[in-house]
Structure 1
């Protein structure tokens, strides 16, 4: 029954992808990647939510609590809530900048505002580099979900099937397929999470679960943990809406006001997190011996839910990962064909992007199989690099005059330092390494921008 329900929803998702093409004929590059900027509030809402509440929600958040204790999940909640007000104000400006420069990708914005080929290449190349862990994140989550639900397949087959499905969604109608499937995915994900949390409360008792779990893990934060949580919330909130795929999602909207309307409703999804916490505490309280912390949520689901509902949970988890994977691919493909390979005719960009997407999926699969990681580690790794775009994006959105070389040096300094500090496992008393690197990024940008001017000032 579990498998039949799961396969039924997967087939239905393919139908939705095909249905999304109706009335659009041969898609142009702009229609394939950003829906010709025609999406209304509902489609933008579900598309954005599909990227935000992904497999990391069902796997990474409970896995972090299981592995590190409940206090480790505080930053996960906090940075999303802190990001929404930023999105309300910055999202419409990103859309306006995209319309001004006829942009499809994040590097298009840098190219349009700064007019620097070198800066465009830096943003394009580092976007691809730091999105590799994000693709690995989705595959890791999919493997953990399906194995946690009792599917004892070789991980190689699981990731290959997942990659094939993600590519199929993209090939059918690009971002339009993602938007339609996102509606189904969100319904399934919310039902799966709430059902599992309710089952824990009904069969094990909320008070009993919390009491049993509190005997094994601490609910108190020490000073180092508090600094980590606060600094990570700030750092990742700043990077939340400069993710290449998040920027591209904004470009699909019909107007700036469409984005404002979606951002107002986004926090409603946070209501499902108490149910995730309850499932995580259940896994801790029952002393479940898991192959990986990433399986914590699904271990609770397997123990407590009937087979048919378990099929729904499996489908929700799978579509959560597949949808984000498709979104990443839709961002990376045009970055290569438009920004790394300039001059490619528009009619060839779509086909070229599909080839790039296949290569990206293969690389992500290889990383997943070669270097399995806790999902929260992968989340941090991507943010270390992507958030370094934030100063450059702010300059674009507010039409400031800053030297392209200064922005480029700031980005490279911040990214290089973040990688070095992470490799050395440097400790700043719990302060997020990425935030330290972002501060250096800003300092280098300011110095590089104003130093030449000061040097030209001659003493009287």
Structure 2
């Protein structure tokens, strides 16, 4: 009962505060206000909302479970955040400037406007929504695990996933991006305090003398855990995998439609650049998260069915009192709700503006907003279906999402780097990239000639090469000159 009460108190209290905050600032009556917060986010609110997209269930539950299962490959989290911020320092201000200058709301708006091709905006919109739904799956997987921990194993996985999706929809439905920004600040502060609190006591739970001693014990008990390829060499998670996966995540991070849209919400270029400078500090928190994964391994934690996603939840449940479990479960709910709600909001915005509106240009602002909100229900339902049909780790699902959205990366980078980039060439690159990523024969080829490389990065490279060549070819085609009368 203590666990349920504390979990509900944290979630419902944060939801109430988020909605009040969103309404107090301004009611979301337009797409611009609802989807990009009126383009007025300052340094603090932008920091927490962007950090909210880093400090998620992928980071806390996914990385700790990855450390428990594989060891050193969990270090991916350290490298990808810092590389992403480095690229973001250059890329984000350019995205922001384009959005403000041309009144853009979604990533697909950018493609349609820059390449002067509404049809390309539709293609990019559909691709972006697909990647977002995969990313929503991460949050629903995690949130359903927390639901079952809180309410008991008698709650079926199907019901838990449906409850998770319903809570996520309720979270964002009223106030849009501003509500998520408020909740991001609450959950970041709570989770940092809780993770540090757990880490200061984890040594006593596993027979170690200090936090650093936990690492020593893990190495002595499981030789090779702290170096590549980790505890399962057959998994192919080598240093080559680390470098290519980290680069793929970094190049694709700001291409994710919700983070692209977040750039539009910033109040100034300075806000974005300050955020990029200081955001890598968040990667230091992974020291504590990986520590907890190693602690769970030393404690002999065995989640139901060997589910790596549930390792940290099971460890806390087994080793700590009910009040600590309740605080952790409630805060972990926010880790899923905040990014999940932003993902759904972004998918809804793209669907109404870039998939429906091109075919129904006469839709009013109100109708567009209603379509956005209604479509979120459908997308959440698809994510629930994917959740019930798969059993991959949160890290693996996350890398799949980055691989999928990476096919749009060449189109974004070339837009700012190469004036000759054109819509047909970018489209050709996207098609080639998805073929290289999804075709089974292509997967076999990459495994043969580029063993242990992240397939997402390989497919992005194919995309970029084809896009450049196709842009050159299409650029050579000159319009026909009408014959003289």
* TM range, smaller chain: over 0.9
Query: Retained in 2: the 8 A contact 1:198–1:275?
Result: no
Deviations 1:214-263 (A, max 9, x none): 22252332596011001111111000111000011111111111111222
Q: Give the equivalent residue in structure 2 for 1:449.
A: 471
Q: Give the equivalent residue in structure 2 for 1:39.
A: 41
Query: Retained in 2: the 8 A contact 1:94–1:247?
Result: yes
Deviates more, 1:94-103 or 1:222-231: 222-231
**1:430 paired to 2:452:** yes
Alignment of 1:200-219 (within 5 A): 200-204=202-206, 205=208, 206=211, 209-214=214-219, 215-216=221-222, 218=224, 219=226
Structure 1 residue 149: Cα displacement:
6.4
**1:340 paired to 2:355:** yes
Gaps of 5+ in 2: 479-485
Deviates more, 1:386-395 or 1:30-39: 386-395
Change (3 A) 1:209 1:393: same
Q: Give the equivalent residue in structure 2 for 1:270.
A: 283
Q: Give the equivalent residue in structure 2 for 1:313.
A: 328
Q: Secondary structure in 1 aligned to 2:53?
A: helix
Change (3 A) 1:199 1:169: same
Q: Secondary structure in 1 aligned to 2:180?
A: helix
Q: Give the equivalent residue in structure 1 for 2:482.
A: none
Q: Distance in 1 between matches of 2:321 and 2:143?
A: 21
Aligned residue among 318, 343, 357 for 1:328? 343
Q: TM-score, normalised by structure 2?
A: 0.89
Aligned residue among 382, 402, 406 for 1:387? 406
Aligned residue among 415, 419, 423 for 1:400? 419
Gaps of 5+ in 1: none
RMSD over aligned CA atoms reads 2.1
Change (3 A) 1:452 1:42: closer
Q: Distance in 1 between matches of 2:309 and 2:464?
A: 35
Aligned residue among 123, 139, 156 for 1:154? 156
**1:377 paired to 2:380:** no
Deviates more, 1:199-208 or 1:268-277: 199-208
**1:440 paired to 2:459:** no
Q: Give the equivalent residue in structure 2 for 1:410.
A: 429
Alignment of 1:37-436 (within 5 A): 37-67=39-69, 69-147=70-148, 151-152=152-153, 153-204=155-206, 205=208, 206=211, 209-214=214-219, 215-216=221-222, 218=224, 219-222=226-229, 225-291=238-304, 292-342=307-357, 343=361, 344-398=363-417, 400-421=419-440, 424=443, 426-427=446-447, 428-436=450-458
Query: Retained in 2: the 8 A contact 1:105–1:247?
Result: yes
Change (3 A) 1:184 1:125: same
Query: Retained in 1: the 8 A contact 2:420–2:471?
Result: no
Q: Secondary structure in 2 aligned to 1:160?
A: helix
Alignment of 1:5-24 (within 5 A): 5-20=6-21, 21-24=23-26
Change (3 A) 1:169 1:207: closer
Structure 1 residue 268: Cα displacement:
2.2
Q: Distance in 2 between matches of 1:453 and 1:114?
A: 13
Q: Secondary structure in 2 aligned to 1:400?
A: coil
Query: Retained in 1: the 8 A contact 2:11–2:331?
Result: no
Structure 1 residue 319: Cα displacement:
0.6
Deviates more, 1:225-234 or 1:215-224: 215-224
